[in-house]
Structure 1
Amino acid sequence: MHDADVLPGKAPSWCRELLAGSTHFNDLRRGNPKMSPALLSKRLRRLERSGVVQRRVEGTHVSYVLTPSGEELRPAVEALAAWGIRWIGELGEEDLDPHLLLWDMRRTLPLQAWPRGRTVVAFEFDDVPRGAARWWLCISGNQVDVCDVDPGFDVDLTVRIGLRTMVELWRGDRSWQQTLRGELITLTGTSELAHRLPVLLGQMPTAAVPRPG
């Protein structure tokens, strides 16, 4: 899926990533998993020529940051995101991507609320083919990593839930209270983490946007 193919109400993926604070090519690539590295490079060069993105080189490190022109896109992107949440209620299969879900969660975790030291949360999506059903969030200080293979650390909490349910929960289509009361989620591991998970994970920033009706 490229920028021309995004669903109504969604900003181009490169724009969301840059506005969310991703500056390195690998992070931009992970936030755009369906875009080839060659196409992403081409898109960044075009944005640089257009004055939307500035490429910075410090030694061997290359980063991409939005210019003032690019930053002016923020209100439009946020308004489009709110419109999409408010009016596009029906989730298609293309919206159910565990990588994009956890990558989005990674951006907004309230790290100050998490325990110091390493915490590993495993997700088991029971409505996803076996090869893509298990994912891990590794939180250590101010670093968060998303893993689709076992990182090799002890798991502090395992979350068993349907991917569609987790996406709806993250979007704010359903509440944590509804999900827990409806027994749509199973938490196994450290009791304190399980109790605090709604606060530790939260929901996406636009989850509070009111829906019609």
Structure 2
Amino acid sequence: MPAREYGQYDGVTRALELVGERWALLIVRDLLVGPRRYGELAAGLPRIPSNILAARLKELQEAGILRRAPRSRVIVYELTDYGRELEPLVLALGAWGAKAMGEPRDGQIVTPDSVTIALRTAFRPQVAATQPATAYAARVDADELLIRVDGPSLDVSRGDGPVDLAFTAGPGIHRLLSGELAPERAIATGAVEVLRGRGELLGRFARTFRLAA
């Protein structure tokens, strides 16, 4: 039984009954990046009350959207095939919402998983196919995302490795992805800080990753 019923019989209504509760789609967003332990989900959603996280996980599991699975002697949550069908919806919703983001409000943060999904949303495979293979590293607080672009293929993972350009990915990364800030201006204003590598490659990054206006 869904937590909320709208009294209408159609697909949109049923979808909202399944994933329309507060925090539900953000849990799905993070699990689209990969399986997560309970504590990892809580750390990635620092404002979610523990009882709400537990309730949403239970609801999503009962709906067949995610499952609990043993991994290396710990329990993780992962999306089912049915749950992974939400990926195009989440990416489209992210692209739509990015048009109305404005300036970050006090207390708003970016997380490695939210940046990963933003990069998937903004990736332009047709542009990437015309560029040389390039590896980037994006620093999100204490974590680093390894972003590999090879032709029309994109791989984003946590970890380190050899890269052509490493840069910070705080709130300013969204202004770069939206085209609001040109790469040179992003560096000059400190919205994006080059950590190592060739700073001019930020222009290639901005061409490869762009949210539609």
TM superposition score category, shorter chain reference: 0.5 to 0.7
Quote the residue 1:168 is aligned against: 175
The question of whether the paired residues in 2 share the 8 Å contact of 1:158 and 1:188 is answered with yes
Higher relative contact order (CA 8 A, sep 6+): 1
- The Cα shift of 1:139 comes to 6.5
2:186 is equivalent to residue 184 of structure 1: no
- The Cα shift of 1:25 comes to 2.2
Quote the residue 2:115 is aligned against: 105
**In 2: Cα distance, 1:199 partner to 1:12 partner:** 31
Quote the residue 1:62 is aligned against: 75
Counterpart AA for 1:208: L
**In 2: Cα distance, 1:101 partner to 1:144 partner:** 15
Distance change >3 Å, CA 139–CA 168, structure 1 → 2 = closer
2:173 is equivalent to residue 208 of structure 1: no
- The Cα shift of 1:30 comes to 2.3
Quote the residue 1:136 is aligned against: 142
**In 2: Cα distance, 1:176 partner to 1:138 partner:** 20
The question of whether the paired residues in 2 share the 8 Å contact of 1:169 and 1:203 is answered with no
Quote the residue 1:23 is aligned against: 36
Q: Give the 4+ runs in structure 1 shifted more than 6 A.
A: none
Name the SS for the 1:23 alignment partner.
coil
Counterpart AA for 1:173: E
Structure 2 unpaired stretches of 5+: 1-19, 121-133, 147-156, 161-165
Give matches, 1:16-165, under 5 Å. 16-58=29-71, 60-86=73-99, 88-93=100-105, 97-98=108-109, 100-105=110-115, 113=135, 135-138=141-144, 143-144=158-159, 165=172
Distance change >3 Å, CA 70–CA 4, structure 1 → 2 = closer
- Quote the sequence identity (%): 20
Counterpart AA for 1:179: A
- The Cα shift of 1:193 comes to 5.4
Counterpart AA for 1:37: S
Distance change >3 Å, CA 101–CA 31, structure 1 → 2 = closer
**In 2: Cα distance, 1:165 partner to 1:59 partner:** 37
Name the SS for the 1:93 alignment partner.
coil
Distance change >3 Å, CA 24–CA 203, structure 1 → 2 = farther
Cα offsets for 1:8-41 (capped at 9, x unmatched) = xxx8211111122243223322221111333212
The question of whether the paired residues in 2 share the 8 Å contact of 1:105 and 1:204 is answered with no
- The Cα shift of 1:175 comes to 3.0
- The Cα shift of 1:58 comes to 4.4
Quote the residue 1:152 is aligned against: none
Name the SS for the 2:40 alignment partner.
helix
**In 2: Cα distance, 1:139 partner to 1:81 partner:** 19
Residue correspondences, number: 168
Q: TM-score, length-normalised on structure 1? A: 0.56
Name the SS for the 1:51 alignment partner.
coil
**In 2: Cα distance, 1:203 partner to 1:21 partner:** 26
Q: TM-score, length-normalised on structure 2? A: 0.56
